[in-house]
Structure 1
């Protein structure tokens, strides 16, 4: 084994695991997913994910299974529930390196692509958070890389790896986990069929049959879910939350943005390597028909970008599955620039002096980028806890409970509901209507309700404490 793979593994592990648990849950996704995983652990129900005792069937439960397992093994800490995403990121980086080597790319190009992926800002931040998007990216990348490797050299290993990737992707995001690799495969097979002016039936059927194999784990879970929750539960997973998010029929999903949303995000999508990605796409455009390797990764970017643009529900994190392809294009173009620079290494001009120090300059740039990420993990993220963490609020709840007070949540949002379950390791009483609120508070002077609102609750409610999490005010009220 060359030194490339071990060095890549160590750097990626440092980037993804360093100071992983030194800050609390932040943002709506972390609080929600961690809370559902904690509730799964407490209830020991591994079939129906629940948030605040209500079924939460927006996505299949792979990330929740792994999160609940980590809680059971290592305790209910932010570090434990972030392990799934961090390992998914590490495996994705190493998978990209290994598959590029398998299809014949040099160790330097493969290493560069993998390190560019690991150091893309959006990718780095997402694999250090609680959620299912890192798992989706791992599944999509595994399936697509195995598919392309299988196109070049069919083999049982590539076939099984493809099915494994489909299993991970669909158990993480359902129908979206099927659509993300599917649209790329369709675009590539269609393009190559037109280029060859013939239809390779076996080439079209093979990924379809392997996809059926990869869907078996999802089908098994859906069958058990059907036994528990009936057709309505299965429909909610497959249609309401998957197809509905794409078409806009699932209005509760939110994240609705105009069609140009991702175009406006392009300047920040692949930072700090954006310029390499976009110039690389432009530089290689004329040679794509003659180079199916570059064609495949270019179509990976374009096809997924177009599909996400057509979807009504949009978030920047959805671009995460495109980043491996962007890293490959950036690495290939960086290799072109490196060879051009190398040609001037004996020149007496300033370009020649730069060329002579090219290895040190590249190492310095990477060191600065990696150092910046490690500094952010060590100091910036914990600093954000001062305003974003739910821990002070849940600590106040536990203090009141220790004093004999009963605390309930009024119309709790997903962030508060998830964070309260995760940090208190218990389910608080939930109140949905005004009548229930007044009834609960009037039962005993020791009853307290927490209300998240933009304005102070009106009389007869009496505010005994106010706490802020981000821009949201939470009022502790009695009657």
Structure 2
């Protein structure tokens, strides 16, 4: 297949997969609407420098995602779900395309498409690409750093280190200093392994990235002062060493991410032995990808706060190694045997998936079988998914038949170690099932979740919709009031944010200010922007479910 056709196939396939149902699946957790409120506030206030929530509370993350989301929301104000998820889908697609181009340039044309398909269809990557969160922004731009350094090692490509520096700088604007730490650790890993690192130009690349991103941090600090330092410390240092003390949550044991990482790489986890094949040649590019993965896993395992999505920036490196392993597989040996044993799992998994889809299409309700192990709201969600499956029974039945018919082809490719054909077949089935779930089952499955979650669904469709409503003790500072307010202690604020039933940290802080104590550090900033005072009392309106 010609390179241009492959590139078009990669882009079209990713966008079709990631945008399937993006406008139809309502917001049903706190994370997505929380980020959406920040994007909408940017549009309302025209304050693009420092992202903030309604009421002045600084956003938890730097501005890169919020800039993109606010731009999309301005173009698509009537479709907030699609608008806020669009940046992740586009960035995820761009990263897959970059991985394809890098694998093709370094390991040959045969490695490009398998590497792209592996990355595009891993479970964690797909989940992040359809989510209105900042994680994909970090992973996508760090893919540019990985690609630039890989090309610098393999081919000495002109401008490769500039690409690496740009990726690290944008990553620092997406999620903070971790975008400098991860490449630095990978380079250190190469150095410890006594590999050549001079082509990477580590100090100029990371120093230049820090200086470039530092321009925004300096401007933001000049405007917000200690409030910005407070957020940076909490979201980076305290999250790493003491998430419970900072009330950021997600504290887990050291090995917590190992099984989650393997699950996140599904459906490609059984083929991971092939990722070790390129390391046999002792090529510097393969060593960099391996160091990127190994040091990243160690770093995030040492952190006290752990989430599976933290491993997302490592997925492109895994995809590069797997693509190279598929392009030049071992003819015999331990790795070939391990990969062949793992590949035997695909056929029974396909049959099981076909059986489940057929059973749902025929009206079989599996919820009573698993209900004892589910929380009440999850059981309710499973019941609504089963109801949505019955409504989509013709398509599900067809999907089950197609999967059952393709399973023998998958089994034969696995038995013959035809890795490229196996990757194509598994990726096609995964994409078909994922797109079907997101368009047919997921929208109806979450629309009827309990009210506490369903109420988180909707942002007002127009970015300039009122942000405050009557009824709480929080007041908006009058323009020109000029009163200096001091932020409450870090632990008190984030603990208030973590309490169930709170609308968010900005609400807790606003109530404290109204009682005569400290006020949010952004309140005066909101007044300086020209925020109009509301009559009476106001509070940030919690997102509420919309009809239709």
- 2: CA distance, partners of 1:370 / 1:338: 28
Whole-angstrom CA distance in 1 between matches of 2:25 and 2:274: 37
State how far apart, in whole Å, the 2-side matches of 1:451 and 1:157 are: 48
Distance 1:29 1:56 in 2: 15
- What residue is the counterpart of 1:295 in the other structure? 287
Other-structure match for 2:315: 323
Residues 408 and 8 of structure 1: is their aligned pair in 2 closer, same or farther, counting only changes over 3 Å? same
Alignment of 1:173-252 (within 5 A): 173-193=175-195, 202-203=198-199, 206-230=201-225, 232-248=226-242, 251-252=246-247
Task: Return the alpha-carbon distance in structure 1 between the equivalents of residues 48 and 413 of structure 2.
Answer: 62
Alignment of 1:265-344 (within 5 A): 265-277=260-272, 279-281=273-275, 287=280, 290-336=282-328
CA offset digits 1:300-354 (Å, max 9, x no partner): 211100000001111011011111112223333334559779xxxxxxxx97996
The alignment yields a C-alpha RMSD, in angstroms, of: 4.0
**Is the alpha carbon distance of 1:329 and 1:75 closer, same or farther for their aligned partners in structure 2, counting shifts above 3 Å?**
same
Q: 1:353, 1:113 → 2: CA distance?
A: 18
1:351 and 1:393 map into 2 onto residues whose CA distance is: 47
Corresponding position of 2:426: 365
Deviation at 1:154, TM superposition (A): 3.2
Stretches of structure 1 that go unaligned for 5 or more consecutive residues are 342-349, 422-426, 437-445, 453-466, 470-479
Deviation at 1:137, TM superposition (A): 0.5
Alignment of 1:62-81 (within 5 A): 62-75=64-77, 77-81=80-84
Q: How far apart, CA to CA, are the structure 1 residues paired with 2:184 and 2:450?
A: 38
| Contact 2:276–2:325 (CA under 8 A) maintained in structure 1 | no
Q: Distance in 1 between the 2:55 and 2:415 partners? A: 62
Aligned residues of 2:168 and 2:180 also touching (Cα < 8 A): yes
Q: Does 1:96 align with 2:99?
A: yes
Q: Which runs of 5+ in 2 are unaligned?
A: 337-410, 475-495, 517-535
Partner SS state of residue 307, structure 1 = helix
Name the CA distance, whole Å, in 1 between partners of 2:116 and 2:159.
Answer: 22
Q: CA deviation at 1:99?
A: 1.5
Provide closer, same or farther for how the CA distance between residues 365 and 281 of structure 1 changes in structure 2, counting only shifts above 3 A: closer
Q: Secondary structure at the match of 1:251?
A: coil
Deviation at 1:96, TM superposition (A): 0.5
Partner of 2:132: 130
Name the structure where strand makes up a greater proportion of residues. 1
SS in 2 for 1:66: helix
Q: Deviations over 1:389-411 (max 9, x none)?
A: 8565788999xx99xx9344997
How does the TM-score come out when normalised to structure 1? Answer: 0.75
Equivalent residue for 2:26, pick from 3, 10, 24: 24
Q: Secondary structure at the match of 1:189?
A: helix
Give the structure-2-normalised TM-score: 0.66
Alignment of 1:395-434 (within 5 A): 406-408=470-472, 431=511
- Residue 386 of structure 1: which of 425, 448, 451 is its match? 448
Mapped contact 1:21–1:78 kept (Cα < 8 A): yes
Contact 1:52–1:417, Cα closer than 8 Å, also in 2: no
Q: Which residue of 2 aligns with 1:375?
A: 436
SS in 1 for 2:432: helix
Secondary structure of 1:15 counterpart: helix
Asked if the contact 2:88–2:132 (Cα under 8 Å) also holds between the matched residues in 1, the reply is yes
* Aligned residues of 2:65 and 2:134 also touching (Cα < 8 A): yes
Q: Tell me the SS of whatever aligns to 1:271.
A: coil
Where 1:192 maps in the other structure, the secondary structure is: coil
Distance 2:96 2:204 in 1: 27
User: Do the aligned residues in 1 keep the contact of 2:448 with 2:454 (CA within 8 Å)?
Assistant: no
Which residue is 2:45 aligned to? 43
- Indicate the residue corresponding to 2:528 in structure 1: none
Alpha-carbon contact 2:257-2:301 (below 8 Å) kept: yes
Q: Any residues of structure 2 matched to 1:144-159 within 5 Å, and which?
A: 144-159=146-161
Equivalent residues of 1:24, 1:385 under 8 A apart: yes
2:109 to 98, 107, 110: 107
SS in 2 for 1:387: coil
Do the aligned residues in 2 keep the contact of 1:24 with 1:78 (CA within 8 Å)? Answer: yes
Q: Partners of 1:172 and 1:268 in 2: how far apart?
A: 25
Deviation of residue 236 (structure 1)? 2.4
Pair 252,94 (structure 1): closer, same or farther in 2 beyond 3 Å = same
Displacement after TM superposition at 1:368 (Å): 1.6
Distance 1:10 1:208, change over 3 A: same
Take 2:315 and 2:413, find their aligned partners in 1: how far apart are those partners? 33
- In the TM superposition, what is the alpha-carbon distance from 1:413 to its structure 2 partner? 6.3
Q: Match for residue 473 of structure 1?
A: none
Distance 2:459 2:116 in 1: 44
What is the distance in 2 between the residues matched to 1:96 and 1:450? 42
**Structure 1 residues 395 and 275 mapped into 2: Cα distance closer, same or farther (>3 Å)?**
closer
For 1:75 and 1:315, the matched residues in 2 are separated by 31
